[in-house]
Amino acid sequence: MNATSDLRTRAAAALGRCGVDLPDGGALAVTSPVDGTELARLPLHSAEDVDVAIGHAARAFEQWRDVPAPVRGRLVRRLGELLVEHKSDLAELVTLEVGKIPSEAAGEVQEMIDVCDFAVGLSRQLYGRTMPSERPGHRLMETWHPLGVVGVISAFNFPVAVWSWNTAIALVCGDPVVWKPSETTPLTALACDALLRRAADDVGAPDGLHHVVLGDATVGESLVDDPRIALVSATGSVRMGRLVAPRVAARFGRCLLELGGNNAAIVTPSADLDLTVRGVVFSAAGTAGQRCTTLRRLIVHRSIVDTVVERIGKAYSGLRVGNPFDEGVLVGPLVSEKSYEAMRSALDRAAADGGVVVAGGERVDVSGNGVYVSPALVRMPGQTEVVQEETFAPILYVLTYDDLDEAIALHNAVPQGLSSSIFTLDQREAEQFLSRSDCGIANVNIGTSGAEIGGAFGGEKETGGGRESGSDSWKAYMRRATNTVNYSTELPLAQGVEFG
């Protein structure tokens, strides 16, 4: 039996368990991409509401900045515990709101738990350096201080993980958060907010550290333009980034951008093809092609391209597309009809350029009003314009190369620079690729998607240059001060300057 008979009840129940009481109604209709069911109606926030939320967060900052970082870490530890407790509730909401298959939805929640662990450890490791001073009796050091309120703008496809990368780190760094989730995924946001508020109550953290503001681009604009928002961390399209970045820059605010990707993998003659096919299929077809890290271009050596295409085509034909709640389904719905139109138009343009669809690319009929497609595998005669664009749908373009220099040149010849990989058993090829891929993420013998939280996540060029999550990404959420301390009785000036 299909378990989706009452998605609305399921959403309300999962939200209830997370501590959210659904309001009676409002202008924002939340529908499930699974079958088009209206899950809830929520009120939208006005510019005034956003102003109040930012004011509240700014007041909370005055208190939170003085709480020692390891003590701030206790809030994130408690949040992590609540996420463990409510993992299945949140995962259910992710499937309902985004259409991810349960395993990927649970993986997204695990990503949140992982980043909480990371942030708790980080709360005792916000290290600054000390440098030798050129002056006797002097000490030079840098210290890191809380930055201010962080505005988080997130996208539909990772509705909760991207929030957690920002929020877990921001909180240990001493920064409150005002979050504008995607308009299509407000329910998961309300669940996260409720859990964080509970964690704050449990550990006695100040009121007002976290706010969710719901609305369209005008709500985002309020965050972008408000000087009390010290950092705008925005995930979404390149178009959105082009609007956000100059406005934040105009007020000398700080911006962290995670924009589009057009990720590629190179497959060389020495590649382990069993592993390659599995890696490619997960990266290209997983999440129905709706990750910013989704594999969109496959650059294969001429000597093996026919075999590789045949094997991926075969794997594609075995992929079950359908209702994500159904057993065995690996590819859920697209988020909207618009996504399908974008996919259709990209496939038409690819065909006009001489591309040949080898597998998929068909609309799949699944009960209800969901938008389902079979992932497309398209052989292209070259890297035409459409291949250089990010289409947020499951299309994998296959290109052919003769020597590695050509493959790497093709790889880098797109405007985006998020994730990349090479499948090879030749160490020289692997190292050449790692040193020359122009992306923020470069992998060997795994696909482009599914990064762990421990590394810095983000990319170059039109991807926006931001880094989030692990490694030293926390530095974007703090203010660095350089301190010179004179513990001598003299006042020597730097650079040997004499004055009087």
Whole-number Å distance between alpha carbons of 118 and 481: 24
Closer Cβ to ligand UN1, 292 or 359, answer by number:
292
For residue 38, the Cα-to-chain-centroid distance in whole angstroms is 26
Interaction of residue 173 with ligand UN1, rule CB under 6 A: no
Paired strand residues for 144? 480
User: Is the Cβ of residue 107 or residue 206 nearer to ligand UN1 in the bound state?
Assistant: 107
Look up residue 171 and give its two tokens.
């909180």
Helix 186-203 to helix 161-173 angle (10° resolution) is 30
Contacts of 107 (CB under 8 A, 6+ apart): none
Based on the shown chain and the rule CB under 6 A, indicate whether residue 157 belongs to the binding site for ligand UN1. Answer: yes
How far apart CA 314 and CA 146 sit, in angstroms, is 52
User: Token digits for 45?
Assistant: 């926030």
Query: Using alpha carbons only, how large is the chain's radius of gyration in Å?
Result: 24
- Longest pairwise C-alpha distance within the chain: 90
Q: Which of 37, 164, 184, 449 binds ligand UN1 (CB under 6 A)?
A: 449
Please state the closest distance from residue 38 (CB atom) to ligand UN1, in A: 26
Burial degree of 227 (CB within 10 A; 0-12, 13-18, 19+): exposed
Find the DSSP H helices in 45-160.
47-64, 69-85, 87-98, 102-122
Q: Is 292 in the site for ligand UN1 (CB under 6 A)?
A: yes
Indicate which single residue of 10, 72, 78, 291 sits in contact with ligand UN1 (rule: CB under 6 A).
291
Cα–Cα distance, 432 to 451 (Å, whole number): 21
Return the number of the residue (190 or 451) whose C-beta is nearest ligand UN1: 451
| Per-residue contact flags (x/-) with ligand UN1 for residues 108 to 137, judged by CB under 6 A | ---x--------------------------
Residue 339 in the binding site for ligand UN1 (CB under 6 A): no
Report residue 195 as tokens: 């859990």
**Nearer to ligand UN1 among residue 40 and residue 342 (C-beta):** 342
Q: Token pair for residue 58?
A: 């700014």
Stretch that binds ligand UN1, among 23-31, 238-246, 358-366, 446-454 (CB under 6 A): 446-454
Q: What is the DSSP string of 277-294?
A: HHHHHHHHHGGGG-STT-
By CB under 6 A, how many residues form the interface with ligand UN1?
Answer: 11
- Counting Cα atoms < 13 Å in the Cβ hemisphere of 253 gives 26
Residue of 166, 184, 293, 443 interacting with ligand UN1 (CB under 6 A): 293
Q: With contacts defined by CB under 6 A, name the span among 189-197, 320-328, 448-456, 485-493 that binds ligand UN1.
A: 448-456
Binding pattern for the stretch 74-113 against ligand UN1, x by CB under 6 A and - elsewhere = -------------------------------------x--
Residues 224-243: x/- map of binding to ligand UN1 (CB under 6 A)? -----------x--------
Q: From the CB of 348, what's the least distance to ligand UN1, in Å?
A: 26
> Under the criterion CB under 6 A, does residue 451 sit at the interface with ligand UN1?
yes
Residue type, 438: D
Closest approach, Cβ 5 to ligand UN1, in A, equals: 30
Interaction mask 35-54, ligand UN1, x per CB under 6 A: --------------------
Quote the distance between the C-alpha of residue 463 and its chain's center.
11
Residue 279 tokens read as 């890696």
Candidates 10-18, 154-162, 207-215, 327-335; binding stretch for ligand UN1 (CB under 6 A)? 154-162
**What single-letter DSSP state applies at residue 379?**
E
C-beta separation of 14 from 93 below 8 A: yes
Report which residue's Cβ sits closest to ligand UN1. 451
Whichever of 451 and 478 has its CB closer to ligand UN1, that residue is 451
Whole-angstrom distance, CA of residue 362 vs CA of residue 430: 35
- Name the residue nearer to ligand UN1 (CB basis): 73 or 289: 289
- Distance in angstroms (rounded) separating the CA atoms of residues 304 and 312: 12
Query: What distance lies between CA 390 and its chain's CA centroid?
Result: 15
Residue pair 397/296 in contact by the 8 Å Cβ criterion: yes
458 binds ligand UN1 (CB under 6 A): no
Binding segment for ligand UN1 among 32-40, 96-104, 124-132, 286-294 (CB under 6 A)? Answer: 286-294
62 assigned to active site: no
- At residue 22, the 3 state secondary structure works out as coil
* 416 near ligand UN1, judged by CB under 6 A: no
Active-site residue identified among 92, 108, 111, 258:
258
User: Which residues are catalytically annotated?
Assistant: 258
Q: Contact residues for ligand UN1 (CB under 6 A)?
A: 111, 157-158, 162, 235, 291-293, 449-451
